[in-house]
Structures are given as C-alpha cells and as structure tokens.
Structure 1
Amino acid sequence: MTGTVLEIEGLTKEFQRDDVATVALRDFNLSIERGTFVTILGRSGCGKSTMLNLLSGLSKPTAGQVLHNGERHTRPTPEIGYLTQSDTLMPWRTVRRNVEMPLEVSGLRDKQKRREVAEDLIKRVGLQGFEDSYPRELSGGMRRRASLARMLAYGADTVLMDEPFGALDAQLRHELQGELMRLYQDDSDQRTVIFVTHDIDEALLLGDRVVVLGPLGRILLDTEVDIPRPRDIDTTTVSDRFIELHRQLADALKEGAA
C-alpha cells in the first residue's frame, strides 16, 4: 500500500508563560509516505520533540494541522504509536504483562491470545526468557526492548520514536539499531516510522530519508538515503556513499547553527 500517511501543514507551536510566548516550531510542513522510515535529524532545541508530541496528538498546535491517512489528527489514537525518551514501563507488571497491556485496553478478552501475541513480540525484540521479569530486574537496554514490544502491541501503522537509544552506550545502541532495522524490514509494507535523533550516523543507518531541522523546525535538508537494505552497521558506515551523505548532513547542521 502506497500514498501519504502523514501530511503536516503549517504547524506552529507556542508556549505561553507569564504573558511571554516562546515559539518552539513555526510553519512546519512535511509529507511522509506510507511504508517509509524517515529520520528527523537536528540539534537540541530545534523543535524535534515538540513536533513528535504534535504528531502523536499529545499536544495541540497553535496553528496548522496534522492529517493522518487523510483525516485531521487531534488526539492520541492506537493507529499512531509513540516511543518516548523516558521509560514508561509499569514497574508492578512483568515484561509479558506490560506488553499485554495495550491488548487489554483494546478489549481483547482472550487471555491465551493476549499471551501468545505478547510472547511473539517479546521474542521478536530479543527478550525471550525474560517474560516473567519485572522492569527493575532488567538493564536499560532490555527495558528499551520491552518498551518497543509494548508499543508494537498496539498494532499502530505509524510509529513515532523520540531518540529511544540516546541514553545507551554505543555497543548497546548498535545492537538495538540492528534489531529495529530487522523489525522494520519485516513490516515495511505496512508500517511507517518517524525516528528523531541528533546523531548523524544513526539517521543515515536507519532511514530511507533524512530530514535535517534547524531552529524552529526550519527544514535545512531533505534527502533520500539511497543505500540498499539490509544494512550491516560495520560495513555500511564505512562505505563511500555513507561518508558522502554524512558530509552533506554535517554541512546542513553547520548551516543551521550559523
């Protein structure tokens, strides 16, 4: 299935405090095609997280609108999943019960079916054997995997990810990037991913397309990543095309800083 899944038109967000308005995003426009992996690259403070909060429906714009599958999107919906920077697992639930939660909320009453779906997702993110563990018993990377599995349980066709691996060490980050690439390739015909990062390597390694943002969400560069999939981290990052694209993105970020 092809076509535009997200249409962002004139999006502006102002925060009001003590009669002073602070603009976080101004007149932002972007179209995202179904089944693509789009990475949003930018320095801190350029409006990346604000944009994701607006796309998720958690925040309302001061001006402009978001269309999801052609319909105006104004509030959170199961069709759009959101993996934030912070850990939101419920500490009193095991990994399995955390992943089952969206299925319970959606009204799936069959306990055996919930268990089967949850265990399949847990296996897909590499947490098999930890189904009965609590979040406090898991490492940071394992909690990220559990959070990813829970988000996938919603069955969302559009997935928003806000620097989900930013707080992890380099080795673990690479491992989870590999897992995410594998999961996306398995579902790329039906799932769209918008992934926010400030890391150029990560943006290029994961994305089909990279959008570089400057202050207030100004688009500095919007380019296709014409590197074939599947991508091996070790070989892709030293290829001539990767290095060439890396230079272009670095130059765009410098332009934004200037």
Structure 2
Amino acid sequence: MAAVYRVSDVHKHFRKENQELVALRGANLTVEEGSFLVLLGRSGCGKSTLLNLLAGLTTVTAGEIRYRNEPVSGPLTRVGYLTQQDTLMPWRDVLHNIAMPQEIQGVDKATRSAQAQRLVEQVGLAGFERHYPRELSGGMRRRVSIARMLCGGPETLLLDEPFGALDAQLRSDLQRQLLDLWSGSGRTVVFVTHDIEEALVLADRVVVLGPLGSIMLDVAVDLPRPRDGDEIRIQPGYLHLYRELTDAIRRAAQ
C-alpha cells in the first residue's frame, strides 16, 4: 500500500521559561493508506506531540513530515482531528455543530444540512438534532464530535485518546461504531491510546512508543474482523499479542 504519512528523523523541542524540553528525538514512522494504525504508550512518550505534528498544528524542530509526499507545514483540509477534550460549540445544537466544517468550507446551507442529517443518523443520534451539548451525555457528545470530524469529508482521521474519559461500556460501543464507520471507507486512521485492549480491538497495526518517540515495537494485528471488545479476549492469538505489547511498554519504562 502507498504511504500517506512519512515521518523522517523528527525532533520536537519546546521552550518552557528558560528551559528547552525535548518531546521527540529522531522519530520515524510510515502510515499506509487505508490502514488503522494505533500509537500505544505511556503518558509522556510523545504520542500526542506526534499526532499534533501529523495534523500540522505544530511544526517540527528538525526532520520532516510528509503527507502524500508533500511537506506538512500547517493544518490539512483532508485530515480530520479529534482531540481528548470536548470542543463542541455550546451555543450550537447537534445539527449545527456537525455542519461546522462544511460551513467553514463555504458549502451551501441545504447541502451541509443534508450531510449533517445523514451523519446524525450514522452515529445513532436521530431525534437529538436540536439538542445542545449541555443536554447530551458524554458518550453522545463524543458521537457528535465524530460526526463533525467526518462532515468535512476527510480522507485521514487522527484521534487522540477520544474515548479515555468514558466508562467501559460506552467506550466499547464507540469503538464498535468507529470501526463500522472506518470499515470499507478507504480512510486512513491514526489513533492514540495508552490502553492495550483498545489497541487490539481497533488496530491493523500497533506501534509502541518509548521515551522521546522511540519505537519499541511495530506489530501487525492479525485478529479477525469484525472485532468486539467484549469477545476479543477469547480469540486465538489475542493473549500472545497482549503479552507482546505489555512487554514492549515495560521495556519502554526501564
């Protein structure tokens, strides 16, 4: 498969007061088109920093990131990004929150309303179109955020621990829904998590990051699809992969 992203010897430094903090040192990564890649690792290993660089929200200190062979120098309209935090507009109802990307793109009102309505139904929120974020549960707000991310028609999705604040059942439901939305779409997904089981439910491939973005393990997940978080533990091969990922995370902490 063709590479969508190529990360080559990337360094990222931040300045805090009079100190220079190193977040990434010599990071390298290739993301293949149509794949579901999970970046797995402990807090502080550079997962979110790398995702922000892929999104073009910040720039590299040294090295290079290319998207479809073009250098990434700023946000890309073809890339959707879902953060850990809830960024819905409180004064907009569900439909108008979802339609925002097309509104920014200048799409006419009728077209963007129709697309937002289709996405409302896709994420299971029919009947809640006129509700405001304050009237929704945490899981419902996440569904709205996913739909808004998709509204602009991105070909690549970047997700930074999007389900981390949810309870286990909601997380499982949204993992299943995300896989349904991705399956057969041709989209590329890069998903950040610190949860091994979540990585194995979602990924085609898991990259375990160690200190400063070093790669401790890069492994294909060949468990059969469709996958379900409630049943994946009994699949042949799950335990071996779980142990392999656990060992890589432990080595990263040494």
Q: TM-score, normalised by structure 2?
A: 0.98
C-alpha contact 2:5 2:30 (8 A) present in aligned 1: yes
C-alpha contact 2:94 2:129 (8 A) present in aligned 1: yes
Output one character per residue of 1:195-239: Cα deviation in whole Å (capped at 9) or x when no partner: 000000000110000000011011000000011211132222222
Q: In 2, distance between residues paired with 1:159 and 1:130?
A: 25
* Unpaired segments ≥5 residues, structure 2: none
Q: In 1, distance between residues paired with 2:229 and 2:43?
A: 25
Match of 1:6, as an amino acid? Answer: Y
Which residue number corresponds to residue 129 of structure 1? 127
Q: In 1, distance between residues paired with 2:227 and 2:179?
A: 8
Which residue number corresponds to residue 56 of structure 1? 55
Match of 1:168, as an amino acid? Answer: L
Which residue number corresponds to residue 252 of structure 1? 248
Q: Shift of the alpha carbon at 1:125?
A: 1.1
Q: In 2, distance between residues paired with 1:60 and 1:173?
A: 32
Q: Shift of the alpha carbon at 1:19?
A: 2.6
Quick check: 1:211 aligned with 2:207?
yes
Which residue number corresponds to residue 37 of structure 1? 36
Which residue number corresponds to residue 150 of structure 2? 152
User: After the TM superposition, which residues 158-177 of structure 1 pair with which residues of structure 2 at under 5 Å, given as runs?
Assistant: 158-177=156-175
Three-state SS of the structure 2 residue aligned to 1:237 is helix
User: After the TM superposition, which residues 97-116 of structure 1 pair with which residues of structure 2 at under 5 Å, given as runs?
Assistant: 97-109=96-108, 111-116=109-114
- Structure 1 runs of 4+ with >2 Å offset: 232-235
Q: Shift of the alpha carbon at 1:169?
A: 0.6
* Unpaired segments ≥5 residues, structure 1: none
Which residue number corresponds to residue 8 of structure 2? 9
Output one character per residue of 1:76-96: Cα deviation in whole Å (capped at 9) or x when no partner: 121111100000100000010
Which residue number corresponds to residue 79 of structure 2? 80
Quick check: 1:118 aligned with 2:109?
no
C-alpha contact 2:223 2:235 (8 A) present in aligned 1: no
Q: In 1, distance between residues paired with 2:24 and 2:242?
A: 25
Which residue number corresponds to residue 18 of structure 1? 17
Q: In 2, distance between residues paired with 1:233 and 1:24?
A: 32
Output one character per residue of 1:11-37: Cα deviation in whole Å (capped at 9) or x when no partner: 111111233111011110001110000
Three-state SS of the structure 2 residue aligned to 1:119 is helix
Three-state SS of the structure 2 residue aligned to 1:11 is strand
Three-state SS of the structure 1 residue aligned to 2:183 is helix
Three-state SS of the structure 1 residue aligned to 2:216 is strand
Quick check: 1:236 aligned with 2:236?
no
Three-state SS of the structure 1 residue aligned to 2:115 is helix
Residues matched between the structures, number: 254
Q: In 2, distance between residues paired with 1:15 and 1:113?
A: 42
Pairwise CA RMSD: 0.9
Q: TM-score, normalised by structure 1?
A: 0.96
Three-state SS of the structure 2 residue aligned to 1:149 is helix
Q: In 2, distance between residues paired with 1:97 and 1:217?
A: 38
